[in-house]
Structure 1
């Protein structure tokens, strides 16, 4: 048995042994779990993938005369202003303001219309890059905040707080998207070709952080992580956190399960690991690099991290059915997905990852280098992530709202 305090002491002395999770899996095949436990102190996991439930909190500082912002746009992208007077939140998927554009009718996207390709993820990227962005704000005039409007340019250097707070990151497993219909579909997994023309999977599989700590015994609230090239923390359970998902005997879930809410100082981050992106006819998002160090406290940690792609499965889901619960074509392993093709009802279907496997490995490698150099200390969680959360859908049909 080891403790995090003991491992941190070795990190300070630059005597800790850190392996990427891929190195651990290979070493276990050669020397076994017991010997690997003796040799390694920290296992570094990583992923680089779209994480659309992300965003940045910004405090502008007060103007003179002061303004109580109620509506705001950053480079034409709406930011939420329902906090204090000059606190803003810009979501990664917020789209550039298209009010009155021909692409929209009655607030709904016309079939096949081209949506604006710039969104909140791109604004966040620009601010991290040190660029200036245009601010336009409308205020609620009050006795203490008399100003009615304000326009200026801002950068990361001219605002107070600028940090990412991401309500849902790091899905513990996800789905494989296919399209059994007759027309091309544009989805959050990218384009899905008709008649099972392709299959897209999101998770990087056995190197993904939460699949290597399946019951979240090591990761908790307060865990220090690699976030966007800087240091971040696990803030809470993520939205849509569903740890009660069905699991294999190795404890890995067979579909979307646990999630985490993450927080980190955006000024520490760099563009290699934070990038705005756009999915055609779906909208903008944010590509984000996240790495989690797993302290090797006992042999069970090594056993969980030794899980391989052939031992983890994901459901193949047909997006041509426009319902919350879509039909599936069964489960496939990540080894099959990473081979480049799977078989669905006798048909060979080519596969592609949404996550960058190469950059996911690089996240784990960079985190390993930080630990070996004594630049990254592990943090004891202050509380566990709940593992008994149910998933509550909205099954009742709502009424269509019409605007006069």
Structure 2
């Protein structure tokens, strides 16, 4: 008999304490000894997680009004500039915004706030009759400001690239330092652990899906920037390069510093290490079949960063099983590999979300709209006025 479940039915089981939850890693292990129908009959929710740098992240902060009031024109937090142009005392702090050096930036400030550390605010104002104050300086904490929430334009890439350097000097990139003459290869996606690779056709997620975000509860707010579901795909549905992305939102005041950490890439700049977990409701057998995908069945393109162009040369595709083995072969040369994502902590995110659901702390939500299935990926060409 075909297995069909609704989110309402699954939530009833969560409330009753009878829900059956498995992580993506556990699903893959179970499928080695049982067929997909048997496994699907024994699981209601699959949890998948990642913990990796996500520089297209940021925080919206409302500071509260000063006396006399100020309309912010420029503001820094621990020396990191925040954007002020959308409200008198509202700020947007980008995770990749550098401070006085490339070693500390917006991601570090966000992590400091979540860890309940004090942050120095310096601000100047645009004077107006209703906002006469010209400057303001104070120490703030997460509990001394109003709203503070992550609003991340692009997170949780569905697959990504592998970076190498075929040139003669080290390159400092968003993947970290790439050593010359194919000295190393760096990959960002955690492969078969990655949430959206366990749901390659985006059947289980959509706008409004409740997720684990930074140790608290968040939501999928929209498609992410550079969302590209039209990426070429293997017969198993997984993309051969960067594809779908998610815009995420969640309350910083609920988050845990273990899952929100500032980081920096040497001679490139700051970023934010972020834990994201996504529940995949098991509507039917196809959900389990998709989540059974193995690292040997997912590939990523090897890109040469030595060519400073938008379209760079590729050394072909490699599987995540090859990447996770510690080395790949490029043009007959053995090249050591390393992940940017923490594979161990990615599994811990999935395990934590599993525990929340099993304990009745986390209910699933019905998406209010599907993520787009067709979006071109446009490039920017220079247009000059004549």
Shift of 1:398: 7.0
Aligned residue number for residue 402 of structure 1: none
Q: Does 1:320 align with 2:309?
A: no
Say whether 1:367 aligns with 2:373. Answer: no
- Indicate which of 347, 356, 363 corresponds to 1:377: 363
Partner of 2:234: 248
Q: CA deviation at 1:396?
A: 3.0
The reply to whether residue 201 of structure 1 matches residue 204 of structure 2 is: no
The RMSD of aligned alpha carbons is 0.9
- 2:77 pairs, out of 74, 84, 89, with 74
Q: Which residue of 2 aligns with 1:58?
A: 61
Structure 2's unaligned 5+ residue stretches are: none
Deviation per residue, 1:346-368 (Å, 9 max, x gap): 00000000100010000000001
Q: Which segments of 5 or more consecutive residues in structure 1 lack a partner in the other structure? A: 98-114, 400-404
1:46 to 42, 45, 49: 49
Q: Choose the corresponding residue for 1:228, options 214, 229, 248.
A: 214
Cα distance in 2, alignment partners of residues 95 and 147 from structure 1: 27
Deviation at 1:387, TM superposition (A): 1.0
* TM-score (norm: length of structure 1): 0.94
- Contact 2:188 2:340 (8 Å CA) reproduced: yes
For residues 216 and 41 of structure 2, the distance between their equivalents in structure 1, rounded to whole angstroms, comes to 30
Q: Look up the SS of the partner of 1:272 in the other structure.
A: helix
Deviations 1:240-274, CA, capped at 9 Å, x for gaps? 10110000001100000000000000011011100
Distance in 2 between residues matched to 1:96 and 1:27, nearest whole Å:
48
CA deviations on 1:22-55 (whole Å, 9 max, x unpaired) are: 1001101211100011000000000000000000
Task: Give yes or no for contact 2:227–2:246 (8 Å, CA) kept in 1.
Answer: yes
TM-score, normalised with respect to structure 2: 0.98
SS of equivalent to 1:29: coil
Asked whether the equivalents of residues 21 and 358 of structure 2 are also in contact (C-alpha less than 8 Å), the reply is yes
Correspondence for 1:123: 109
Match of 1:279 in 2: 265
**2:187 matches 1:184:** no
Are the aligned partners of 2:102 and 2:268 in contact in 1 as well (CA < 8 Å)? no
1:36 aligns with 2:39: yes
Count of matched residue pairs = 382
2:122 corresponds in structure 1 to 136
Of residues 308, 325, 337 in structure 2, which corresponds to 1:351? 337
- Does 2:170 correspond to 1:167? no
Match of 1:311 among 274, 293, 297: 297
Matched, 1:154 2:157: no
Alignment of 1:395 with 2:381, yes or no, is: yes
Tell me which residue corresponds to 2:87: 84
Q: 2: CA distance between counterparts of 1:398 and 1:126?
A: 43
